[in-house]
Structure 1
Amino acid sequence: MKMIEYVKLILEKVSFESGLFEKELKKGIKSLSFREIRELKKWCYERFGSIYRGILNRTFRKTQHQISV
């Protein structure tokens, strides 16, 4: 199993609780390449955008800033 698929699986399993979801999203991003992060971002907004948009915005904004620095 590719790491991105593993991260998606974990996010699905913890999506019932926002704090845990945010923690696992941040942890998962650290183990992915830039290309995989873009793919994960798209998937997350499609799958969880309606319930966790604030977490996604905050987390991916920080990630984007770290990559561009």
Structure 2
Amino acid sequence: MPRMIYDYTKSELESVSFDPHLFKKRLKKATRNLLPYEIDQLENWLSYFTMNKPELQNCLTEITSKNENGFA
């Protein structure tokens, strides 16, 4: 079941990637719903996904800061 949530989160983020504000909002939601190891996986996926999308790269700080502070 958790893998399904992770996959759903990725597809949801892909579908809203046209809007950085909405992307960041969904990313915050994801950090509340995913397990810590899933957040690590999502962070790796986001690094790859946003590589050619500079407008979304500043959203990565949202997941990185939560992961470093142990709030995830």
Fold-level match, TM-score > 0.5? yes
1:62 pairs, out of 51, 65, 72, with: 65
Q: Which has the higher helix share?
A: 1
Q: Kindly provide the amino acid, as one letter, of the partner of residue 61 in structure 1.
A: T
What SS class does the counterpart of residue 15 from structure 1 fall into?
Answer: coil
Report the identity percentage. Answer: 28
Q: How big is the shift at 1:29?
A: 1.4
Q: Structure 1 unaligned runs (5+)?
A: none
* Moved beyond 2 Å, runs of 4+: none
The TM-score normalised by the length of structure 1 is 0.84
Partner residue, 1:33 = 35
Q: How many residues align?
A: 67
Give the structure-2-normalised TM-score. 0.81
